[in-house]
Amino acid sequence: MIAILSGMFVLEIYSQQTDSDFGAKLIISANTNRWSPTSTLTVFFQITNCSTNISYAVDDIPTLNYSIYLRDNGRSYTPSLAGLGDFGNRFYHPSYWMIGPKKTYSWSLVMKIGTNVPPGDYELGATRSIAISAPNPTNQSNVKLVSNLLPIQIRQ
């Protein structure tokens, strides 16, 4: 997979796919699989609506209703936001973005880690809450999508 980030080609994107019980899936990828406290990591997010008749609503600010984590052998760390990446393609409504059937919503965030994360092999994962849109807006239900896990090496 090749992605364009700020006019620059990122030739290696590390990703794996996962399926969802909700007809939508969250896939993450990163511009590298090596990270250190002195560098940043660009994480690319995609929510794909796999259904043919259901729409999903996502908050219009990509930093809301998500979590991203590093984990290994029972330890978990939360990277922090270092900057905003590309907010991607969107289907706009005043307070949320609609993801119609067979459409994809994508964005990226630039993340950093603290010096408290020891070197080693980790998995990077994310979650994002979305709403299943129903014909009657008062009948919406929220679901939490869980991403695939990416292998990440932390180096000092």
| CATH number for 122 | 2.60.40
Q: Is residue 18 part of a domain?
A: yes
- Torsion sign over Cα 84, 58, 5, 126: positive
**Averaged pLDDT of the chain:** 75
Number of structural domains found in the chain: 1
Whole-structure pTM value: 0.76
pLDDT of residue 32: 93
Q: Is residue 5 part of a domain?
A: no
pLDDT of residue 49: 87
Q: For 56-82, what is the mean pLDDT?
A: 81
pLDDT category of residue 43 using cuts at 50, 70 and 90: very high
Q: Is residue 7 part of a domain?
A: no
User: Which residues are 97's β-sheet partners?
Assistant: 58, 92
Q: Is residue 59 part of a domain?
A: yes
Supply the range of the domain harboring residue 126.
14-149
* Residues 48 and 18: beta-carbon distance below 8 Å: no
Q: Is residue 74 part of a domain?
A: yes
pLDDT category of residue 140 using cuts at 50, 70 and 90: low
* Residues 20 and 47: beta-carbon distance below 8 Å: no
